[in-house]
Amino acid sequence: MRKKIVAGNWKMNLNLQEGVALATELKAALAADKPNCDVVICTPFIHLATVAGITEGTVIGLGAENCADKEKGAYTGEVSAAQVKSTGAQYVILGHSERRAYYGETPEILKEKVNLALANGLKVIFCIGEVLEEREAGKQNEVVGGQLADSLFDLTDEQFANIILAYEPVWAIGTGKTATAEQAQDMHEFIRGVIAGRFGEAAAENVSILYGGSCKPSNAKEIFSKPDVDGGLIGGAALKCADFKGIIDAWKD
């Protein structure tokens, strides 16, 4: 059975003290009211080791928002997958549209990052999604299928078992404009088909596919009710405990 997951992406928000306060509040909220899904928070690098001390032994998983495409060495300012792992984190987000658009992350670079993350025992939350012009031109399946093929199709079945996919239509990220539940379902079904074609039906059935893009407590239940939507990758609404918890609770009856 594939996992239901709600993952937060803090992006470049919250200083260390604010991050510690949010993780502590979330830990208390989820201890008082157990979630029906896996919960992950992905934080800036500088928060990881401290937040790991808060989330350890709880239901909350911890991830980074990126890692380097090099193993180690003279790459000033970069953070390697091994370094992420050594903080106690278990996940890393890769391929986020902001990294692709603002930092020139190409499919080749992402391939390196995915390989290094998996080699270091991290689970990868791999983001894919089309921009508005591509959707308006009806090219969303072609774009998303290409992103999957370009960065993930060389993985072995064993490696692919540690991939979580996040479909994030770029036009819905941080814009307040959510894809409809039907648009999300159509794309998730398509993605599952692409995965079945490369890795087989069992892998497609087992891979969790999260939706991301202006997901909030008020729309999460409807989106999560779709058969191929296994949860969400949450940006803005992950920065307030009550909002993030509201989305986690969307998995409850």
Residues assigned a catalytic role:
96, 168
- How many Å apart are CA 165 and CA 94, to the nearest integer? 10
Give 19's strand partners: none
Whichever of 23 and 173 has its CB closer to ligand PEP, that residue is: 173
Residue 63 makes contact with ligand PEP by CB under 6 A:
no
- Report d(CA 134, CA 56) in Å as an integer: 41
Q: Is 5 in the site for ligand PEP (CB under 6 A)?
A: no
Residues 173-192 that bind ligand PEP (CB under 6 A): 173-174
CA 61/CA 55 separation, integer angstroms:
7
Q: Is residue 170 close enough to count as binding ligand PEP by CB under 6 A? A: no
Taking the C-alpha atoms of residue 78 and residue 68, their distance in angstroms, rounded to an integer, is 6
- Please, which of residues 222-241 interact with ligand PEP by CB under 6 A? 233-237
Query: Is position 147 an interface residue for ligand PEP (rule: CB under 6 A)?
Result: no
Nearer to ligand PEP, 39 or 233 (CB): 233
Sequence-distant (≥ 6) Cβ neighbours of residue 133 within 8 angstroms: none
Chain position whose Cβ is nearest to ligand PEP:
235
Q: Using the rule CB under 6 A, which residue among 214, 219, 229, 243 binds ligand PEP?
A: 214
SS3 of residue 39 by DSSP: strand
Residue with tokens 């064993």: 158
Binding-site ranges for ligand PEP (CB under 6 A) = 9, 168, 173-174, 212-215, 233-237
